[in-house]
Amino acid sequence: MKRFYKAVAVEPADEGWRVTLDGRSIRTAGGRPQIVPTRVLAEAIAAEWAAQGEDIDAAGFVLRDMADYAIDVVAADRDAVIASLLPYAETDTLCYRGEAGEALHDRQVMVWEPLLTAAERRFDIHFARISGIVHHPQPAETLARLRGVLAAEGAFTLAALHTLASLAASLVIALVAIAPDTDAPDADAEALWDAASLEEDWQADLWGKDPEAEARRARRFASFAAAMRFAELARG
């Protein structure tokens, strides 16, 4: 598609901010007004539009697409999105470790345990730790408490959580990513992605790195970092 606009601007809208192209406000993929909660997020989305060349590259609209998801999908059915997030706590990757005494187990405990214990303290919950891959249910009280934590978040934060949790296979990592705990260990994007990718990286160190796997890891990290940035901008 050819670029069809010249001027990109940001202006106040009902309970938020919106981007305009040549004075016309934009809509979501679902046809709804694209109104975002903070000016900084609107300005970041405007920058995506302004950065387009003569031909529009759809891949350049990462933040816009996440805003569309928040408005068209999350806001339309928050309960369904929250229900889709809870399984990432039920099978959180941070809870499944190798057998005690193995080098991998020791590495998992060193990297994952600080994140998990910080989440337990922060949300007043408890996670069961499992050795091996056989599923073990998490306490019902933990899942109920996390449902309440998610229910307190807005649509834009839930949209970011959906991306973060699915990429990390961990609701704990996703929750740290959207709002780092001052008492938690390092919570920057690279540190959290390294934690999420621990087992994959462990295997790569043992058997050698595959270029295609490395490229896939880089793409997934870029999506993870973008979702973190989206959450930060949406929360102001």
Please give the chain's pLDDT, 236 residues, in tens: 999 999 999 999 988 999 999 999 999 999 999 999 999 999 999 999 999 999 999 999 999 999 999 999 999 999 999 999 999 999 999 999 998 889 999 999 999 999 999 999 999 999 999 997 788 899 999 999 999 999 999 999 999 999 999 999 999 999 999 987 655 556 799 999 999 999 999 998 888 888 998 999 999 999 999 999 999 999 98
Please answer whether residues 63 and 43 qualify as being in contact, where contact means their C-beta atoms are separated by less than 8 angstroms.
no
Residue 130, beta-bridge partner list:
96
- H/E segment holding residue 212: helix 211-235
Indicate the residue type of 210.
D
Q: How many CB atoms lie within 10 A of CB 167?
A: 19
Taken as a whole, the chain contains a residue count of 236
pTM recorded for the entire structure:
0.94
Q: How far apart are CA 26 and CA 63, in angstroms?
A: 14
Token pair 């990592």 in the structure block, residue: 173
At 211, phi and psi to the nearest 5?
-55, -40
Say what the pLDDT of residue 13 is: 95
Q: Where do we find the tokens 């109104």?
A: 35
